[in-house]
Amino acid sequence: MLASILASGLAAGAIYALVGVTYNTMFSTSRVMSFTAGQLAMLGGVFGSMFMLKLGMPILVGFLLTLLACAVIGIITEFVAVRPVLKSLDQHLYVLSTLALALMIQQVAAIKWGTEPQPFPRLFGLGSGVWDEKFWLPVVACAITILGLEYLYRRTLVGRAFLAIAEDNFAARALGLPERNLRVASYALAGVIGGIAGFSGGELLLAFFANGALLNFYGFVPVALGGLGNNRGAIVGGLALGLFQQAANFLVGGIFSSVAVFTLFIVVLLAAPQGLFGTSTARRV
Amino acid sequence: MTSVTATPAQAETGAIRATLPHVAPFLSILAIAMILPFVSNDYWALIGTRAAIYWVLVSGLNLVVGFAGHLAIGYVALLTLGAYTTSVLVAGNVMPPVPVFVALPIAGCVGAVFGVIVGLPALRLRTFYFAMSTLGFATIVTQIALAWQSVTGGGIGISGPEFPAPFNTPWGFYALCIAIAAFTTWLSANVARSRFGRALIAVRDAEVAAEATGISKPRMLIAIFLLAGALAAIAGGLFASLQTYITPDAFTFDLSVLFFIAILIGGRGSILGPMLGTIILTILPEIAAPLAAWSTFLYAVLLLLIVLVMPGGIAALLDFRNRRPLASNRAIVPRPAALADIVRRSAGGKALALRGITLSFGNVRAIDALDLDVMPGQIHGLIGPNGSGKTTTLNVISGYYAAKAGTMTLGEDALPPGMPALRATRGIARTFQTPRVIGEASVLQNVMIGGSVEGRATFVEALLALPRNAQDERMLAAKARALLGVVGLESLADVRADRLQHSELRFIEIARALMLDPDFLLLDEPAAGLSSDEIERLAGLIKAISARGTGVLLVEHHADLIFDICHQVTVLNLGRTLAAGTPAEIRVHKEVVSAYLGG
């Protein structure tokens, strides 16, 4: 049982962590938490299944097209739901605009794709039991994504520009960084990360429209645990959440695992509002 | 819905004339609801009942979303909870069956408890976090309803409660739901126009200022969450009865979206708007049947449009009063003499003393071992270069920062560090460097906020519009009007505060602070942005305030104003006292002249 808990826990945790990173990537350049993060991961599964099963494309083509489609959705998020409300960030209108867009995405997926969960193809056909690819694929995808992001942020000019904007938007603009373009780029990147989360987790979660809302919540918990914008916190938080949830699932049963996760979420928010790895609040007066 | 407050000075008929325009739309909606049975069929009874039930939930949720500004997007969970609690109690799955009219209040209590649990994160965090916690709750309630088969019947479901005659016919049940909806409208309107409703908006739009006036955010929010949770659960019980048979599928997230969007379409801080929103959104899919599948998509599009194009919602469209242009050449002419007409509540006479106050941010010592005495009835100037710790000192006194070392005393009593919401009851009021005013509320309401701690009616009394609440309202409104006269803004009393000029906002803040009859008034750069005429009038006003026995601590950069009106001046530099004394002494103090005043 321990092996099953570890396998499914790490797999689910890796997906949650990736959705958390999706939230953070959008947040870093715009200070906006977007409800589309979970929907992007949902679309990763739906697009993957559509391209490969419905349209019979090869895995690699399907994968790249999925990421491309998710990146486009990310860019649409920036244009439709983020850019218009950025000038009044303090009113938190983004919560509503991104929620509206997320609902539209979910509803279109429900109507055009169907409200039943549909199968996601086996990608490599490797492994069985607890070593089944559906368990290790998300973990591998998560690890590769993190390494890629680390490389991007530390070694490339674009990545450093992202960091500069995340650190101090005004100073970055004063230095002449193309803030708007970088923000669009970060939303595209967030789309890709969300797509990877959904694609790699497709075999575990299936191609199902309702995954969007679910992943919105379970992907946000690691962000809340780890602190806004903190990718390491999101990864640790995501894996911990996955293990915690699956352990509760195996030990006390399905319903109570979600109750446990929810309770954990509320308790952490009340005890450490800035997250376990977060920094303190800004000045109020 | 900006102001529903009746003025005491006017006669009874005047009060009726003032409230009638606000009540008339509700009465017309009620009249239409009562005509409906005579002009339509059972199909419309169903739709009307549904709209009424939704409104029972939305009327409570509106206080959370529209007034308190907390984005509760998962309230379908509380509807589900209420529906199952009522059904299970009536069916007797767990314990002996109880009559539906007993089960409904029990469901209300359960809903109230869970309303608070779900709302708890809102006490610490706003917006996205709170939205997420309600969304998470919505997700797990459905899962529990599915999995807890022995009680909820799982996916197969359970029969909804049946109401006894005469409520067991479509129109009978309709009448019951309309009656309950009318009652909850009355309840929520009572809260909205009481000091609790204003406090909710204050916490939403000017949280820091709300704390300074002594509004306790946790207590306010818990009261609102109790009410909203109870109403949502009662709506759930009615909903279960309307459905006759409930399964977890009946409670889709789409319903949550409907409730939430009805409020936003209606407009924040309004009751009529969300009511119209609820009715429209309930009827919309019915009259456009082919669109039923796309209804949630349409709601989402509507939400996006509202946010991007018309953030005020229906309420802003209907707010004709605030579209009339204001006079452009208006001048603020305070009448300090009128202060004498306002009864002074406390005797004052205590001195405010700071001893060795030290506060650092990181390695920067913002205040370093500061001693300061402010005497009652005196104006104490606090000046110094930028970054010398003037505003920080005010923030320490008003409790936004807790000093690392040192003591503060007010008369004999120690003033606890931190805890800004406790300052108002101690008689300390303040204004802010950037005016913190509720833009969406009227000027009068903004000033009334300042007297929140003086109200004596409890939340329940306000909810049921008991006499003590009416007394509070009359007292606060009369005092606020009088104070607006004192600061010279009485002609703008009913105007939305965000339409005013910067200098006018400064005087609103002073009027708001005076609502407390403070023993100490802390003014943070009140003359910034004022014309020289206005500064002169401000000087007269401050002198009149201190003449009544209020100690004034004045942070200001206008040296002329300071030297003109202050009895004592303290000069800060780098968090330390550079000099202290009378204006005449300071004016010739060598170091002050070289460090700050300039030769």
Highest mean pLDDT among B4-18, B116-130, B272-286: B272-286
Closest approach of A57 to chain B, Cα-based (Å):
30
Query: Residues of A with CB below 8 A from B131's CB?
Result: 95, 99
Does a structural domain hold residue B325?
no
Nearest-neighbour CA in chain A from B203: distance (Å): 13
Question: Does B286 share its domain with B383?
Answer: no
User: What is the number of structural domains in chain A?
Assistant: 1
> Which of the four pLDDT bands, split at 50, 70 and 90, describes residue A215?
very high
| Neighbouring C-beta atoms of residue B498, cutoff 10 Å | 13
Note whether B139 and B269 are same-domain residues: yes
pLDDT tens digits along B73-97: 889 999 999 999 999 999 988 888 8
Alpha-carbon distance of B416 to B401, in angstroms, equals 11
Closest CA to A215 of A89, A35, A90, A87: A35
- Element holding A134 (H helix, E strand): helix A133-155
* B119 and B160 both lie in a single domain: yes
Domain identity same for B71 and B213: yes
Nearest CA in chain A to B256: A103
CB contacts of B129 in chain A (<8 Å) are 224, 269, 273
Which is nearest to B337 in space by CA: B486, B517, B447?
B486
Query: Of B181 and B256, which is predicted with more confidence?
Result: B181
Q: Do B253 and A254 touch (CB under 8 A)?
A: no
Check if A72 contacts B (Cβ < 8 Å). Answer: no
Substitution target from B80, B126, B129 for chain A, most A beta carbons within 10 A = B129
How far is it, in rounded angstroms, from Cα A233 to Cα A226?
A: 4
Is residue B3 a part of any domain in this protein?
no
Contact B300 A214 (CB under 8 A): no
Looking at the complex, report in whole angstroms how far the Cα of residue B343 sits from the nearest Cα belonging to chain A. 32
Q: Which of A17-31, A218-232, A244-258 shows the highest mean pLDDT?
A: A17-31
Residue B571 is assigned to a structural domain of this protein: yes
pLDDT at B2: 41
Find the residue in A nearest to B146 (Cα): A255
Based on the fold, state whether residues B346 and B312 are members of the same structural domain: no
| Domain extent for B562 | 336-597
Which residue from B minimizes the CA distance to A104? Answer: B297
Cβ of residue A266 closer than 8 Å to a chain B Cβ: yes
Q: Pick from B3, B479, B422: which is nearest to B194 by CA?
A: B3
Structure confidence by residue, pLDDT tens digits, B20-68:
778 889 999 999 999 998 888 889 999 999 999 999 999 999 999 999 9
Domain co-membership, B308 together with B348: no
**pLDDT 10s digits, B504-525:** 999 999 999 999 888 899 999 9
Where does a domain end: B284, B319, B354?
B319
Task: Quote the pLDDT of residue A278.
Answer: 59
CB contact under 8 A, A269 and B131: no
Nearest to B136 among A107, A253, A262 (CB): A262
Give the nearest partner residue to A104 out of B129, B207, B300, using CB atoms: B300
Give the residue from chain B lying closest to A84, CA to CA. Answer: B308
Please indicate whether, in this complex, the C-beta atoms of A103 and B140 are within 8 angstroms of each other. no
Cα A115 from Cα A100, distance rounded (Å): 19
Is this prediction's ipTM beyond 0.85? yes
- CA B30, CA B47: separation in Å to the nearest integer? 15
Query: Identity (one letter) of the amino acid at B509?
Result: E
Q: Burial letters for B117-153: b for 16+ Cβ neighbours within 10 Å, e otherwise? A: ebbbbbbbbbbbbbbbbbbbbbbbbbbbbbbeeeebb
Inter-residue contact B239 to B60 (CB < 8 Å): no
Contact B137 A262 (CB under 8 A): yes
Residue of B nearest to A211 (CA): B139
A6 CB within 8 Å of a chain B CB: no
Query: Would residue B51 count as lying in a domain?
Result: yes
Q: Which residue of A has its CA nearest to B254?
A: A103
The mean per-residue pLDDT over the stretch A260-267 comes to 84
State the best of A33, A36, A96 to mutate against chain B, taking most chain B CBs within 10 Å: A96
Average pLDDT over residues B199-216: 90
Do B137 and B264 sit in the same domain of this protein?
yes
Report chain B's mean pLDDT, rounded to a whole number.
88
pLDDT at position B456: 87
CB contact under 8 A, A266 and B121: yes
B133 with A99: Cβ contact below 8 A: no
Mark yes or no for CB contact A107/B391 under 8 Å. Answer: no
CATH code for the domain of B398: 3.40.50.300
pLDDT tens-place string over residues B281-299? 998 888 876 777 788 888 8
Cα A127 to Cα B69: distance, rounded to the nearest angstrom: 51
Is A96 within 8 Å of B303 when comparing Cβ atoms? Answer: yes
Of A91, A216, A259, the CB nearest to B140: A259
* Residue-level pLDDT at A141: 95
Res B480: pLDDT: 93
Question: A157 to chain B, minimum CA–CA distance in Å?
Answer: 32
pLDDT digits (tens, 9 = 90+) for B144-167: 888 888 888 888 899 999 999 889
- pLDDT above 90 for B108: yes
Q: From the CA of B390, how many Å to the nearest CA of chain A?
A: 13
Tokens of B10: 């006017």
Chain A segment 80-109 residues within 8 A of B by beta carbon are: 80-81, 84-85, 91-93, 95-97, 99-101, 103-104, 107-108
State the pLDDT confidence band at B574, using cuts at 50, 70 and 90: confident
Q: What is the pLDDT of residue B4?
A: 43
Q: Which two tokens stand for residue B210?
A: 């709300």
Q: What residue in A sits closest to B132 (Cα-Cα)? A: A217
- Which residue among B319, B353, B379 closes a domain? B319
Let me know if residue B108 belongs to a domain: yes
For residue B211, the distance in angstroms to the closest alpha carbon of chain A comes to: 11
Q: Are the beta carbons of B297 and A104 separated by less than 8 Å? A: yes
**Nearest Cα to B576, choosing from B560, B592, B562?**
B592
B5 pLDDT higher than 60: no
Rg of chain B (C-alpha set): 28
A40 has pLDDT over 80: yes
- Kindly give the pairing relationship between strand B520-524 and strand B551-555: parallel
In a domain, A153, yes or no: yes
Mutate to test the interface with A, among B297, B438, B498 (most CBs of A within 10 A): B297
- The predicted pLDDT at position B11 comes to 47
Domain assignment of residue B119, yes or no: yes
Residue B475 and residue B509 in one domain: yes
Cα separation of A167 and B53, whole Å?
A: 48
In a domain, A134, yes or no: yes
Residues B411 and B283 reside in one and the same domain: no
- Is the residue at A115 inside a domain? yes
Query: For residue A219, what are its two tokens?
Result: 């992907």
- The DSSP element (H or E) to which B285 belongs, if any, is helix B272-287
Residue of B124, B208, B297 with shortest CB distance to A270: B124
Closest Cβ opposite residue B307 in set A100, A253, A258: A100
Q: Is residue A281 part of a domain?
A: no
Please give the Cα distance from B119 to A69 (Å, whole number). Answer: 37
Residues of B whose CB is below 8 A from A221: 136
**Structure-token pair, residue A5:** 């808990």
**CA-CA distances (angstroms) from residue B302 to A59, A99, A271, B258, B510?**
38, 12, 37, 11, 41
Domain presence at residue A130: yes
Q: Are residues B153 and B105 in the same domain?
A: yes
Task: Write out the residue range of the structural domain in which residue A118 sits.
Answer: 2-271
Task: Tell me the pLDDT tens digit for each residue of B458-485.
Answer: 999 999 999 999 999 999 999 999 999 9
Q: How many domains are contained in chain B?
A: 2
- How near does any CA of chain A get to the CA of B303, in Å? 6
Q: Helices B127-147 and A254-271 meet at what angle, rounded to 10? A: 160
Residue found by looking up tokens 């204050």 in the block? B202
What is the nearest CA distance from A221 to chain B, expressed in angstroms? Answer: 9
| Cα–Cα distance for residue pair A237/A221, rounded to 1 Å | 8
Cβ–Cβ contacts within 10 Å for residue B331, how many? Answer: 11
Please report, for the domain that includes residue A18, its CATH number: 1.10.3470
Contact B531, B559 (CB under 8 A): no
pLDDT band at A194; cut points 50, 70, 90: very high
Q: Is the dihedral of CA A157, A160, A166, A171 positive or negative?
A: negative
Instruction: With a cut of 80, say whether residue A256 has pLDDT above it.
Output: no
Question: Which B residues 359-388 touch A at CB under 8 Å?
Answer: none
Alpha-carbon span A149 to A146, nearest angstrom: 5
Average pLDDT value for chain A: 89
Cross-chain residue pair B400–A285, CB shorter than 8 Å: yes
Domain for residue B311, yes or no? yes
Q: Do A216 and B132 touch (CB under 8 A)?
A: yes
CB pairs under 8 A between A and B: 118
Residue found by looking up tokens 């023993």 in the block: B519
pLDDT of residue B598: 73
- Does residue A42 lie in a domain region? yes
CB within 8 Å of B447: residues ≥ 6 apart:
B480, B483, B484, B508, B511, B512, B515
Residues B241/B480, Cβ–Cβ less than 8 Å: no
CB proximity B244 to A under 8 Å: no
B547: left (phi over 0), alpha (psi -120 to 50) or beta: alpha
User: Do B404 and B357 sit in the same domain of this protein?
Assistant: yes
Domain membership flag for residue A278? no
Residue A281 has pLDDT above 60, yes or no: no
**pTM of the model as a whole:** 0.88
Give me the sign of the Cα torsion angle B149, B153, B157, B160.
negative
**Cα separation, B598 vs B585, whole angstroms:** 15
**Locus of tokens 């909606």:** B29
Per the CB < 8 Å rule, is B264 touching A93? no
Can you give the pLDDT at residue B26?
Answer: 92
Residue contact A103–B136, C-beta within 8 A = no
The nearest alpha carbon in chain A to B434 belongs to A285
| Widest Cα–Cα separation across chain A | 59
Model pLDDT, residue B13: 63
B310 inside 8 A of chain A by CB: no
Who wins on pLDDT, B595 or A100?
A: A100
CA distance A84 to chain B (A): 7
Same domain as B283, residue B360: no
End position of a domain, from candidates B319, B349, B371: B319
Instruction: Please indicate, yes or no, if residue A276 is contained in any of the structural domains.
Output: no
Long-range contact set of residues B260-263: C-beta below 8 Å, sequence gap at least 24: B260/B61, B260/B65, B260/B71, B260/B72, B260/B73, B260/B75, B261/B299, B261/B300, B261/B302, B261/B303, B261/B306, B262/B54, B262/B58, B263/B58, B263/B61, B263/B62, B263/B65, B263/B66
Contact: A92, B208; criterion CB under 8 Å = no
Any domain includes B82: yes
